[in-house]
Amino acid sequence: MDGIIVIDKPAGFTSHDVVAKLRGILHQKKIGHTGTLDPDATGVLPVLLGRATKLSDLLTAHEKVYEAVMLLGVTTDTQDMSGSVTARRDVDVSEDDVLSACAHFTGDIEQIPPMYSAIKVEGRKLYELARKGLTVERSARTVKIEEINVSRMELPRVHMRVRCSKGTYIRTLCHDIGEYLGCGAAMESLRRTASGDLTEEVAVTLELVQEAAERAAQSGISVEKILGAGLITPERALAGLPRFTVGRGYDKALYNGNALMTEWGSGECGPGQVAVFDADGRVVGVYERRGGKLCPVIMLLPRTE
């Protein structure tokens, strides 16, 4: 199978667990996910299959949208409520104070990644060191918080929608807002509702994929057909990019991954990236214009029978 399945990740599963489960259900080795979700988090987890795995970096770079509940007055060693409580403080802040603090953390901000994260330092994942009681120095990283929309406040709980760049830790955002307010805070719950154009509206459960695989085995109909719109093809995944179609007669250069002259085809080929298709309408890759040529960035050579 080639494409993307947007899984509605259940709580209690790591992103790796989801991939392992799907590998067993679909009997497919070439599979991976974009953008790790914490085990207790739920929501949008794009899983890439077959040649769509080459789109990982492209899809991971997209902005994310989360719905989170921040609990004021408590801090933990994991910055969420799965960890051990390290401090409790009185919550002597107003709703206006909270809104002001959220506004303060909008835009480009610096975040220090939490110890309980999958980031590697000298080849070791931070959470592996944290589980041994070790703390190492981490460099701050610049992330962008496009929007923090507080939907409801029932202090000490704050319900908010966060739209942000890749690499943002919502746990750390909650922790930092709490420190700014002087009462501390931890993330109580988290759900990712969108990763770029992939939203929870197109997400399916692991159970649904399991049922589709069982029906396919019994009926002889492919899993792709049973999943229908639940399987996003590479062509659909790249629908947001300008499209350039290469004319017949240039197949050798196209399939060898050579740079393409812009006069070899038709369509949009301005600055930035474009999705390049062959004359039969199959996506071949993502290209970038450099001078009068289109140069390959990601090759997605279609399967040949």
- 222-255 residue pLDDT tens: 898 999 888 999 988 898 899 999 999 998 899 9
Check whether 124 has a pLDDT greater than 80. no
What are the φ/ψ torsions at residue 212 (nearest 5 degrees)? Answer: -65, -40
Candidates 38, 80, 176, 278; catalytic one: 38
Domain boundaries 3-62+198-235, CATH class: alpha beta
Task: Give the C-alpha separation, 152 to 174, whole Å.
Answer: 15
Task: Give the C-alpha separation, 216 to 228, whole Å.
Answer: 12
- 27-83 residue pLDDT tens: 999 999 988 898 999 999 999 999 999 999 888 888 999 999 999 999 999 999 999
Same-fold call for 64-195 versus 238-299: no
38 is catalytic: yes
CATH, range 238-299: 2.30.130.10
Q: Reply yes or no: is the peptide bond before residue 10 cis, omega within 30 of 0.
A: no
Check whether 305 has a pLDDT greater than 50. no
Q: Which fold has domain 64-195?
A: Pseudouridine synthase (3.30.2350)
Tokens of 4: 């993307």
Which residue ranges make up each domain of the chain?
3-62+198-235, 64-195, 238-299
Report the amino acid identity of residue 284.
V
**Is the torsion defined by CA of 116, 111, 66, 55 positive or negative?**
negative
Helix axes 170-181, 95-104, angle to 10 degrees: 120
- Whether the CB-CB separation of 79 and 186 falls below 8 Å is answered with yes
